[in-house]
Amino acid sequence: MPQHSVRLAYQEFAQAAPAVHAALAALGKAVDDSGLDKALTELVKLRVSQINGCAFCLQYHLNIVRQLGLDLDPRKLDLLAAWRDAGLYSEREQAALAWAEALTRVAVHEVDDAVYAQASAAFAPAELAHLSAAVANINAWNRIAAGFRFAPPPAVRGSAA
């Protein structure tokens, strides 16, 4: 397997584009402050990062889950790529994951009415707006981190995984 060299390190990006870094961090804080369950938003960020193949964001968000000791069954992390078949995820989690996948793949497929109906049944309008912002934000980070090949941060071991 070929090794890819880092094009620009995370800290170099933050220094080169501090206003962009701050804006993305502020969007993340707005989602965190919205009242959405942090474990749910981290699952969504992990799934989107899997789809986009972003090693940096996968490790970063796994570290968050572990550091915060979020109430997540470790099997949900292990089986996230196959969430539809795993039989572990709540209806709300399934709706969030389906919505996140639809928004992430919007360039390939329009967002299906059934996926919207499922999401809007599981989330109040303000929750769905913040969930959508979380998806948009992680997609932005994935494109930056994958494009510059940010090196994944060291893994953190904790109680959640």
Mean local confidence (pLDDT), 33-57: 97
| Both structure tokens of 62 | 């796994």
Rounded Cα gap, residues 138 and 142, in angstroms: 6
Q: How confident is the model at residue 158 (pLDDT cuts 50, 70, 90)?
A: low
- CA-to-CA separations, 61 to 77, 96, 119, in angstroms, rounded: 11, 17, 23
Ordered structural domains, the chain, with CATH: 10-148 (1.20.1290.10)
Mean local confidence (pLDDT), 121-139: 98
pLDDT at 47: 98
For the stretch 66-124, pLDDT in tens is 999 888 899 999 999 999 999 999 999 999 999 999 999 999 999 999 999 999 999 99
pLDDT at 93: 98
pLDDT at 100: 98
Rounded Cα gap, residues 154 and 131, in angstroms: 27
| Both structure tokens of 123 | 């989330």
| pLDDT of residue 160 exceeding 50 | no
- CA-to-CA separations, 101 to 33, 45, 80, 81, 96, in angstroms, rounded: 23, 10, 12, 11, 9
Q: What is the dihedral of CA 90, 35, 161, 136, to 10 degrees?
A: 90
pLDDT at 157: 81
Mean pLDDT of the chain: 94
pLDDT at 161: 41
Q: How confident is the model at residue 159 (pLDDT cuts 50, 70, 90)?
A: low
